[in-house]
Structure 1
Amino acid sequence: MSSYNRRLHLLTLIFFLLPLTVLSELASARSALLSFRTAVGGRTLFWDTSSSTPCSWAGVQCENDSVTGLRLPGVSLSGQIPPGIFKNLSSLRTLSLRLNRLSGNLPPDLASCVELRNLYLHGNQMSGPIPDFLSSLRNLVRLNLASNNFSGNVQASINNLTRLGTLYLENNQLNGALPDLKLPKIQQFNVSNNQLSGPIPTALSSMPVSAFEGNHLCGKPLDICPGIAAGTGEISGSGSGSGRKRKGLSGGAIAGIVIGSVVAFALVLMIVLSLRGRRSKKSRGVSISSIKRSDVGFPTEKSSGEAENGGMGVGYSAATAAAAAMTENGNGKAAEVNDGGNGGKKLVFLGNAARVFDLEDLLRASAEVLGKGTFGTAYKAVLEIGIAVAVKRLKDVTISEQEFQEKIEAIGAMDHKNLVPLRAYYYSRDEKLLVYDYMPMGSLSALLHGNRGAGRTPLNWEIRAGIALGTARGITYLHSQGLNISHGNIKSSNILLTKSYDARVSDFGLAHLVGPSSSPNRVASYRAPEVTDARKVSQKADVYSFGVLLLELLTGKAPTHALLNEEGVDLPRWVQSIVKEEWASEVFDLELLRYQNVEEEMVQLLELAIDCAAQHPDHRPSMPQVTMRIEELCASTMPQEQDDPHPALISNADDRSSR
């Protein structure tokens, strides 16, 4: 046989044998998965066993005729994973068996999955030590073993996982000291609620306090370890093996130090209490007037009705309030109220807002700074008659007084239950103030990110879906007022909440009042890519911002903090990369993962958010379409009101006690 014929014969043989090899690999994987189902799945995995390939089975992902993903979260798996199945699933890159009832040890043949990048086993009942063979899986990027019954020590061999970005070991029974972990790419780390003790490794000192709570650990970011000299990291006093004797203090010296310390502490305590007493007296007199007259430039002279008590003023009686209310013209037009002698300046009320206070009452009110936003600083002002209002002091207003008045009155005419009502405004050459209803629960941003520690009340699906729908309805109403009307600054800090967690959209229309300098970089993460001037934002650009807001609701991540690699990607790009490479359910906030019966609705809302955050404006839906899709996905899980064409998902009775 010639050399050419031999080569041809070899190629022909390879051609026929290659499919058999592929089929053999898939057949082995199929057999392993069926063994897995028999051991832990029971009737919960409805796989079509008549199929010759497992690639069509729910939760099984294949690439290049290999099983690369097995994702079975929250499907009531129970029992122990049998040994020997993973050696036939060696191409796995993602294994997600979270939120089941699996028990026992991790099978050692898992070490054969050398391509494994993501291992999610949290929320099971697995026990035994964390196996050392996990450190041989050098491609691991995310390892989540939280909320199991793992015990024993955290092994230093974890340092072999140089690509690891996420390590969650909280809520187990781990003990001993933390090894000197040095993971160069670690971004997410948690060992809270174990039985660990000793110092925290220096390389982990930048992690939040919540990552170490519920142990007996010490060192930054927790308290300094006892016996460690501050600033030196060395143990004070050497051991007996150091070759030197320790010099102890005499009993008298120790007693003197103790007595001196007690006396010094008592003196310091008396001074602090004295200062606090003086400060409390002064604080009772702090008012929005003092803030404005010292920092804002309002007149400093007192009105005739103002007492010498730090600007709080004398009683503004109910009779005075009633008289002011009776002077209301009631015709729905803006009404001017004199300021009680401050140079003719006036507070202008909008629509049918009750005229029960004037500018001087506002200036005498006790004030609390709520925050500094894109367009200015917001205050909570509590008037003497007991009413609380929110006052926004605008900055960088660039339009004339007449144009300002026209635009503000247009904003005041916006009337929808999912908008924060604008009640009044004040205009002078130097100062522009807006008066809104006060929202007692603060912003969505504070609710999502303000407290992620042990005392936090989790936000359930019903609340988040209600906020999403209420926000969508408010924005849809704005867009319905004209083709060129948009919000221009949609972000979580501009979604305010009532006591019953109803969403109210704030700051609408203000982008047209200020200059471009009032658009800091920190809001760029919500801004559509085509926007170059913050004063000219289209309705489709609003849709993009709302899409980022939905992603924030679903993932629990602030857009500016969703940076999981050195290049730094924004939240939409991060979510899309996770969904493409792994699985949609892995992006959700852990607080949402307990609601397994609404996982389909969560995925639908995630898909809608991705559609809204499309790069090209023409690929984004309109806000009415967005609202309709949210209403449809909520219909099966949320109670609907019969009389309202846009029903609220949660009661909007503001007098209900806070949950």
Structure 2
Amino acid sequence: MGIWGLQQHLAVALLLFLSTATATADPNDEQCLTHLSQSLTDPFNNLQNWTQTTFASPCQGLTSFLHGATCNNGRIYKLSLTNLSLKGTISPFLSNCTNLQSLDLSSNQITGPIPPDLQFLVNLAVLNLSSNRLSGPVPQQLASCAYLNVIDLHDNQLSGPIPLQLGLLARLSVFDVSNNRLSGPIPASLGNRTGNLPRFNASSYEGNKGLFGYPLAPMKSKEGLSIMAIVGIGLGSGLVSLVLSFAGVCIWLRVTEQKSADEEGKISQLMPEY
């Protein structure tokens, strides 16, 4: 075999090696995808190609072989599985997709908690889990994802307070936890941000009966009355009671005075004249 033929064979072998290396999944990505597919139920078979065979080689450069996945340099960097009627829970092994920058599981029927393990997605910029049936607390561990730009959790069944730690996310420009079951005060670091940090209006917090603080309107009682209105009613009731009490005393004194006058008249009639 001549030198030219040897070079051709070496070139083909090198291309085959690079192709195989690129197509082979990162072990962390493969574990991430495997566990996520096991934790979710796909009633309409939208994720037919989510199989173990595909997980072994999900990317070819920038091309992804998985529905809803986007690749970058052979790694999964975006998952968008929105509005697919998915059920089940979010696997904590999702944190193995360490190159993930965007996670969108919105508009499904996913239940259970938000895994605190998502804190290990250190490159995550977008987290959209809105319009599901997620329950439990908002994990304070999300504050470890320093690049988070979007946290959208609206229309779920999340409960408990909003973690103070989320106010440390300097890049956060979209924050929506409306229509949940959250309670307690809105952290000032999120409700009343200062400097150049983006601010969030009341629409980010509305629909949580137990949540209060700026920028929400003042709390109302169960009858829909504001605290100031209740205080006003209390003061008004006290004033009315005072007036009625004073009027009662006046009437009693008048009656007593009249009785005394009548008795004096009777006594004067009985006394002999001199």
What TM-score do you get using the length of structure 1 for normalisation? Answer: 0.28
Determine the structure 2 residue equivalent to 1:90.
98
Residues 1:166 and 2:174 are matched in the alignment: yes
8 Å CA contact retained: 1:61, 1:68 = yes
CA distance in 1 between counterparts of 2:139 and 2:154 reads 14
Alpha-carbon shift at residue 159 of structure 1 (Å): 1.1
CA gap 1:197/1:82 in 2 versus in 1, 3 angstroms: closer
Determine the structure 1 residue equivalent to 2:40.
40
CA distance in 2 between counterparts of 1:255 and 1:32 reads 68
CA gap 1:217/1:62 in 2 versus in 1, 3 angstroms: farther
Determine the structure 2 residue equivalent to 1:216.
219
Determine the structure 2 residue equivalent to 1:26.
26
DSSP-derived class of the 1:164 partner? coil
CA distance in 1 between counterparts of 2:115 and 2:212 reads 30
The CA deviation string for residues 342-381 of structure 1, in whole angstroms up to 9 with x for no partner, is: xxxxxxxxxxxxxxxxxxxxxxxxxxxxxxxxxxxxxxxx
CA distance in 1 between counterparts of 2:74 and 2:120 reads 18
Determine the structure 1 residue equivalent to 2:197.
185
Q: Residues 516-531 of structure 1 correspond to what in structure 2 (within 5 A)?
A: none
DSSP-derived class of the 1:85 partner? helix
Alpha-carbon shift at residue 41 of structure 1 (Å): 3.5
* Structure 2 residue identity aligned to 1:30: E
Instruction: Provide the aligned C-alpha RMSD in A.
Output: 3.3
Determine the structure 1 residue equivalent to 2:131.
123
CA gap 1:27/1:19 in 2 versus in 1, 3 angstroms: farther
Alpha-carbon shift at residue 158 of structure 1 (Å): 1.1
Alpha-carbon shift at residue 36 of structure 1 (Å): 1.2
The CA deviation string for residues 15-73 of structure 1, in whole angstroms up to 9 with x for no partner, is: xx998886665343134213212220433312163444222211101112211100000
CA distance in 2 between counterparts of 1:110 and 1:24 reads 24
DSSP-derived class of the 1:192 partner? coil
Of residues 53, 60, 69, the one that matches 2:57 is: 53
Residues 1:155 and 2:163 are matched in the alignment: yes
The CA deviation string for residues 459-483 of structure 1, in whole angstroms up to 9 with x for no partner, is: xxxxxxxxxxxxxxxxxxxxxxxxx
CA distance in 1 between counterparts of 2:18 and 2:139 reads 36
CA distance in 2 between counterparts of 1:48 and 1:128 reads 28
CA gap 1:133/1:22 in 2 versus in 1, 3 angstroms: farther
* Structure 2 residue identity aligned to 1:68: Y
CA distance in 1 between counterparts of 2:86 and 2:187 reads 33
Q: Which has the higher contact order (CA 8 A, sep 6+)?
A: 2
Alpha-carbon shift at residue 119 of structure 1 (Å): 0.5
Residues 1:194 and 2:217 are matched in the alignment: no
8 Å CA contact retained: 2:37, 2:50 = no
8 Å CA contact retained: 2:101, 2:125 = yes
Alpha-carbon shift at residue 128 of structure 1 (Å): 0.5
Residues 1:77 and 2:86 are matched in the alignment: yes
Q: Residues 131-142 of structure 1 correspond to what in structure 2 (within 5 A)?
A: 131-142=139-150
Alpha-carbon shift at residue 108 of structure 1 (Å): 2.4
* Structure 2 residue identity aligned to 1:53: S
Q: Residues 535-614 of structure 1 correspond to what in structure 2 (within 5 A)?
A: none
CA distance in 2 between counterparts of 1:96 and 1:145 reads 11
DSSP-derived class of the 1:61 partner? strand
DSSP-derived class of the 2:36 partner? helix
Determine the structure 2 residue equivalent to 1:110.
118
CA gap 1:115/1:19 in 2 versus in 1, 3 angstroms: farther
Q: Which runs of 5+ in 2 are unaligned?
A: 1-16, 59-63, 230-234, 244-274
CA distance in 2 between counterparts of 1:138 and 1:168 reads 18
CA gap 1:127/1:63 in 2 versus in 1, 3 angstroms: same
* Structure 1 residue identity aligned to 2:29: A
Q: Residues 439-588 of structure 1 correspond to what in structure 2 (within 5 A)?
A: none
Determine the structure 2 residue equivalent to 1:470.
none
DSSP-derived class of the 1:101 partner? coil
Q: Residues 31-430 of structure 1 correspond to what in structure 2 (within 5 A)?
A: 31-42=31-42, 43-47=45-49, 49=51, 50-51=53-54, 52-54=56-58, 55-87=64-96, 89-181=97-189, 182=193, 184-189=196-201, 190-200=204-214, 205=215, 212=216, 216=219, 226=228, 255=239
What TM-score do you get using the length of structure 2 for normalisation? Answer: 0.64
Alpha-carbon shift at residue 145 of structure 1 (Å): 0.5
CA gap 1:112/1:48 in 2 versus in 1, 3 angstroms: closer
8 Å CA contact retained: 2:127, 2:152 = yes
CA gap 1:168/1:137 in 2 versus in 1, 3 angstroms: same
The CA deviation string for residues 321-350 of structure 1, in whole angstroms up to 9 with x for no partner, is: xxxxxxxxxxxxxxxxxxxxxxxxxxxxxx
8 Å CA contact retained: 2:164, 2:187 = yes
Determine the structure 2 residue equivalent to 1:474.
none
Aligned length: 201
Alpha-carbon shift at residue 164 of structure 1 (Å): 0.6
8 Å CA contact retained: 1:44, 1:76 = no
CA distance in 2 between counterparts of 1:25 and 1:225 reads 59
CA gap 1:217/1:115 in 2 versus in 1, 3 angstroms: farther
